[in-house]
Structure 1
Amino acid sequence: MQTQRSVAFHTLGCKLNFSETSTLSRLLEQEGFVKKDFAETADVYVINTCSVTDNADKECRHLVRRIQRKAPESLVVITGCYAQLKPKEIAAIPGVDLVLGAAEKFNIVQHIAELAKGDSAKICSCDIAEVTGFNASYSANDRTRTFLKVQDGCDYTCSFCTIPMARGKSRSDTIANVVKNVEELAKTGTKEIVLTGVNLGDFGKGPDGNKKNNETFLDLLRQLDAIEGIERYRISSIEPNLLTNETIEFVANSKKIMPHFHIPLQSGSNTILGLMKRRYKRELYAERVALIKQFMPHCSIGVDVIVGFPGETEELFTETFDFLHSLDVSYLHVFTYSERANTASLDITPIVPQNIRNERNKILRNLSFMKLQYFTQQHQGKKRKVLFEIFEKNGMMEGYTDNYIRITTPYRKEWANEIVEWAV
């Protein structure tokens, strides 16, 4: 009798990757694979990669080496953005058996069935221009909070970014199909859904990248808001130029869409925003933040920002610092610029030395710490609804308020996956 094969997954990068990893896991489990923890020995290891920074590439190589030491006879499959961008580089890593590009990742079952250890690494990739389909995916049974992919790809040409090369052009699910997936998730006891995508505000383009259905992101929110069974939605990230007044007002009046926005800024200097080829100026960003706070003073606002971009002088960095300091935002995600192959930013000078990039990162992370402390203190003593995670860690449990303040408290089984009113 043939024993069941086992598979273990590891995800690098964004919420979108987590949703796709969960879908890949379900595809293999449906074929009889037993899912194992990545720390355990498995027959197949799947690493879903990111390539936003150089660290993600290095971590992928480190993970493969770890598998080689632990389980040299196991199959190693690499997919995700790094796999699409640099398939030959990955295939050359000792121990890698299969590299799946953007068009092939959801055909993983077929590819693994044809794979044997000891053969040279197989590359199943393609020209990214040929990637036009949309594959719906969501995380399930992984956590209380489910990540639901509703959009993929990007038509923007930001000078630092490899995502359009890794994921292709902007395309979306249909509202009807998103609603169907949400209704299925509601039956599983899911309390909160995080809507994910590469460029969520661009929602509405069909699988071929054309705007056929006349659907918008606001239309999607309106439909989801009416579905019974799901109590919370979050918007993972949305570009400031695509975050409309109507969307902000709708969120303010919704009981289900959480008062929490994550809005990429990247730089508080208009000079640097121009070099980055971003589609807005800082004045628009400030207007978005002010309008959100006008409608929802309690709303949490997260900001992505890149430090050390080519051409960022001390004066221009100070512009970013001062701008962020002046904004009523709650926390920052700070990225240190790293050179990525085939991006336009490689031609921009002067290059910022690495030690200065690192120092600027520390300065903004300190600012983020102070921002988050201030935001949390503003809500101390006030009651907010907290959704607690199902997991226990060292006798404690965690949850998030509607406006994304993290709460830690001694574990109580009856609170797991439940929304509890809480004095912050």
Structure 2
Amino acid sequence: MKNRKKVAFYTLGCKLNFSETSTIARNLQDEGFDRVDFEEVADMYVINTCSVTENADKQFKQVVRKAMKLNDKAFVAAVGCYAQLKPEELASVDGVDLVLGATEKFKLADYINDLSKNDFGEVYSCEIAEADFYVGSYSIGDRTRAFLKVQDGCDYKCTYCTIPLARGISRSDELENVLKNASEISKQNIKEIVLTGVNIGDYGKGEFGNKKHEHTFLELVQELDKVEGIERLRISSIEPNLLKNETIEFVSKSRTFVPHFHIPLQSGSNDILKLMKRRYQREVYTERVNKIREVMPHACIGVDVIVGFPGETDEHFLETYHFLNDMDISYLHVFTYSERDNTEAAAMEGVVPGNVRAKRSKMMRGLSVKKRRAFYESQLGTNRTVLFESENKEGYIHGFTENYVKVKTPWNPELVNTLHEINLTKIDEDGSVRMDFVTVLV
């Protein structure tokens, strides 16, 4: 192309999607495109879709309409999980020109000719069994932290989940490549890296269905801790059965890994965990939390929980509620169960009415507010390290401490992407914590 074209990206869903969007964007920049914000007029709009969020099709249509309002002649491409699961559905949305499945999304440039609008959306997707190779990714330039992909796919058969159908088998990046990517990120003046993947505790499985673990997750963490120039490393969501005591102990003494764990529970009832085909019982979860508290009393512990799963009675729900209420955790991510095509759970008996699901979700979200408040109160008067982010929100700049306390101070652009030792002083009305500066670190 003689003139550089403009491309804009919109990412739905998880940190893994953000890392992959960034990689696709860099690939297109190498092919002669300039990346612009999604709010700007562009020649092409790329939407990275998600299958986990409720109303995925509705969200996608809204984003397409937004792109068409900005430029009704722009080329629109859909990639990602929903594009793999429901390609024809996305291709039929007015304005969509191209839909790429799991193996094709990183080759977007190969499918673009002249950016002319198509009468109908073209679909290029594979059988998910063909998604047996690994493409490394990381996000950079989007925010003050980077998302580094270390693993993709999942071999678990949870009865509610479509991710194995959308992303294929569990496979991992080579350790050398992860370390190379981490080193590249560190040279971009990015202070924090978040490790991401579908099931990162399963790290080590090779490509092409090779189930042999070349390296363990613990070895990955140990080697990343040695990379020069990184101030912070944060582990994203990790399954309780794969979070080993050795890893917890290593993090407690680590140079760069922060005391923050996000551990999916999904249910506090062993009966429901069995129906979900989760690979642990609640007793394992209790052991993990107790171990973290033993070696890192100040650690932040986040929990995923699903309410309204088929077969969840009032007794099962209250069992989960009380289990979490009694546990020393810091916050919840609450998901209201919604049926997904081609999953076992969608055909299960004991469907929970929508209004009951909503009521349980509200109760659980209320518990999350209470837990976060109690955790923040336990941190008042302590000195922590904050990394400030880049957004001016109503005259304030926000950031997170190493143990994931959200703090605020009046806006000052010089604070962006800097680390400071602070003293946590009081909780504000919006739930964030006010602070006093102690030391400028970086």
- Give the alignment's TM-score, normalised by structure 2: 0.94
- Corresponding residue for 2:439? none
- Corresponding residue for 2:434? none
SS at match of 1:113: coil
SS at match of 2:384: strand
> 1: CA distance between counterparts of 2:127 and 2:260?
37
SS at match of 1:252: helix
2:303 is the counterpart of 1:303: yes
Count residues in correspondence.
424
Map 1:104-253 to 2 at 5 A. Answer: 104-113=104-113, 115-212=115-212, 214-253=214-253
Map 1:23-422 to 2 at 5 A. Answer: 23-113=23-113, 115-212=115-212, 214-422=214-422
Is the 1:47–1:79 Cα contact (8 Å) retained in structure 2?
Answer: yes
Is the 1:225–1:257 Cα contact (8 Å) retained in structure 2?
Answer: yes
- Corresponding residue for 2:20? 20
Higher relative contact order (CA 8 A, sep 6+): 1
2:418 is the counterpart of 1:423: no
Partner deviation per Cα, 1:318-340 (whole Å, 9 max, x = no partner): 10101110111000000010000
> 1: CA distance between counterparts of 2:89 and 2:227?
46
Counting aligned pairs with the same residue, the percent is: 58
Aligned pair in 2 of structure 1 residues 37, 359: CA closer, same or farther (>3 Å)?
same
> 2: CA distance between counterparts of 1:9 and 1:418?
27
Is the 1:13–1:56 Cα contact (8 Å) retained in structure 2?
Answer: no
Is the 2:170–2:202 Cα contact (8 Å) retained in structure 1?
Answer: yes
AA of the residue aligned to 1:99: V
Greater shift, 393-402 or 256-265, is seen at 393-402
- Give the alignment's TM-score, normalised by structure 1: 0.98
Pairwise CA distance, 1:118: 2.9
Pairwise CA distance, 1:213: 5.4
Greater shift, 386-395 or 365-374, is seen at 386-395
Aligned pair in 2 of structure 1 residues 114, 159: CA closer, same or farther (>3 Å)?
farther
SS at match of 2:20: helix
Is the 2:47–2:78 Cα contact (8 Å) retained in structure 1?
Answer: yes
Pairwise CA distance, 1:47: 0.5
Pairwise CA distance, 1:12: 0.4
AA of the residue aligned to 1:350: G
AA of the residue aligned to 2:142: D
Partner deviation per Cα, 1:291-346 (whole Å, 9 max, x = no partner): 10011000000000001000011111010101110111000000010000000002
Pairwise CA distance, 1:354: 0.6
Is the 1:383–1:421 Cα contact (8 Å) retained in structure 2?
Answer: yes
Pairwise CA distance, 1:415: 2.4
AA of the residue aligned to 2:84: Q
Pairwise CA distance, 1:262: 0.2
Pairwise CA distance, 1:214: 2.6
Pairwise CA distance, 1:242: 0.3
Is the 1:81–1:167 Cα contact (8 Å) retained in structure 2?
Answer: yes
Pairwise CA distance, 1:25: 1.0
Is the 2:39–2:70 Cα contact (8 Å) retained in structure 1?
Answer: no
Is the 2:13–2:53 Cα contact (8 Å) retained in structure 1?
Answer: no
Is the 1:50–1:57 Cα contact (8 Å) retained in structure 2?
Answer: no
> 2: CA distance between counterparts of 1:385 and 1:403?
9
> 1: CA distance between counterparts of 2:93 and 2:214?
45
- Corresponding residue for 2:429? none
